[in-house]
Chain A
């Protein structure tokens, strides 16, 4: 199994809603990442978890709240988002914190209305 599975694939939410994005991998990887990708732009790193501990928060607003319940799961909790937060959210994992073999999921296309 070399997959990173993200759910849902598409999400439309209002600015007052609370929703969560989910990411799952069963490759035994110990580092997991959230990226944000706007249309026609490269991905931008948001968070890094290494051994289930938050290692990097790239100055992401608090309306995005990551959570790593166990080594296979990574969540991104969303609350009070703005329309400019609409983007593709990509999850990735790698065997260790030096992510020379990063595997990406197919992303969640988020639209904030």
Chain B
């Protein structure tokens, strides 16, 4: 079974631009979460989607948004990029919310490394 796939792997953008990152979850997983990892703040939760609905949201400004499609694939968007948005963005999928999967683990992709210049 294929793992969580994130594209692109690396991205360089300029301050003020916007960016869209893509995530394909493990087949059959309907929960998709996004995390930001920086050297200073570590791994921080951005949001979680299930069946195209945002179920949970972390403490990030409104410039960070996401969505999930009917096939469970997800995208996250960051508008008006700032230098501090440079980070590794990780997507994870899980069976949580699908009956027996209530304690199922998260399966992470290898992330998209975003550099803002």
**Is A bound to B?**
no
Interface residues of A (CB under 8 A from B): none
